């Protein structure tokens, strides 16, 4: 698996990495940013007017991140949302679909089909709680798949943080937390 691109401040840029194994498609995202010069395939470069836009960089980082996660979960026959719900149920046996969708920020309309897919794979089961709600539990087979999914996600997170210089990791995670909180506040207004 190739390393994820790194976004660093321009002030203290380290030397560019060896890009011989980087794919051109990843390199084109960065325009005039730190790694664009390393990724250029010849003397002519097209200037990207969005290269300094945090939202633009965040979107491309998110796309690369999600693609890497999908690659890790594919052998388990799981989508990211399915893995997230499976791990949430494992951590909270008996959680209802409503509680799970609120916790993970998944639309209610999407939760029922998602749980149906997990149930059809014999990874979770439903137990009636009251007239309308069902508690969700992970099956023995689901526990094994959840363990493997958790290991893959943790390995991915380690790779992601390893791509950020050690002295910037805490700030990186804090900044992402502020962005997530800002976006969550915007959605509730």
CA 137 to chain centroid, in Å, comes to 24
- Say how many residues make up the chain: 189
Q: Which of 38-52, 134-148, 164-178 has the lowest mean pLDDT?
A: 38-52
> Does residue 56 form part of some domain?
no
- The mean predicted confidence, pLDDT, of the chain is 81
Query: HSE on the CB side for 69, CA within 13 Å?
Result: 20
pTM (2 d.p.): 0.72
With 60 as the cut, is the pLDDT of residue 168 above it? yes
Determine, yes or no, domain membership for 155: yes
Q: How far apart are CA 42 and CA 171, in angstroms?
A: 34
Q: Cα–Cα distance between 180 and 174 in angstroms, integer? A: 10
The number of domains in the chain is 1
Which pLDDT value is given to residue 27?
A: 44
182 domain-assigned = yes
Residue at 131 is within a domain: yes
The whole-number pLDDT of residue 129 equals 87
Strand order in the sheet with 124-128: 95-96, 134-138, 124-128
Among the ranges given (72-76, 105-109, 139-143), the one the predictor scored with the smallest mean pLDDT: 105-109
> Does residue 30 sit within a domain?
no
Q: For residue 114, give the CATH number of its domain.
A: 1.10.10.10
Q: pLDDT (tens digit, 9 = 90+) per residue, 15-46?
A: 444 444 443 334 433 444 444 444 444 446 78
CA distances from 161 to 90, 114, 158 (A): 25, 29, 5
In a domain, 189, yes or no: yes
Give the pLDDT band (50/70/90) at residue 9. very low
pLDDT exceeds 70 at position 50:
yes
116, part of any domain: yes
In a domain, 28, yes or no: no
Q: Residue 119 sits in which domain range?
A: 78-189
């Amino acid at each position: 698996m190739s390393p994820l691109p790194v976004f660093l401040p321009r002030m203290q840029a380290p030397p560019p990495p060896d890009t011989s194994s980087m794919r051109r498609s990843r390199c084109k995202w960065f325009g005039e940013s730190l790694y664009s010069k390393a990724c250029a395939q010849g003397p002519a470069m097209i200037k990207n007017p969005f290269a300094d836009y945090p939202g633009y960089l965040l979107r491309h980082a998110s796309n690369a991140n999600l693609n890497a996660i999908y690659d890790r979960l594919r052998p388990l026959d799981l989508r990211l949302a399915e893995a997230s719900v499976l791990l949430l149920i494992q951590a909270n046996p008996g959680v209802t679909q409503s509680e799970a969708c609120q916790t993970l920020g998944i639309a209610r309309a999407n939760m029922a089909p998602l749980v149906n897919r997990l149930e059809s794979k014999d990874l979770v089961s439903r137990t009636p709680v009251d007239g309308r709600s069902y508690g969700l539990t992970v099956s023995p087979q689901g526990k094994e798949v959840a363990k493997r999914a958790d290991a893959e996600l943790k390995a991915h997170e380690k790779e992601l943080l390893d791509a950020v210089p050690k002295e910037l990791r805490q700030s990186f995670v804090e900044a992402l937390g502020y962005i997530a909180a800002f976006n969550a506040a915007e959605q509730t207004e």
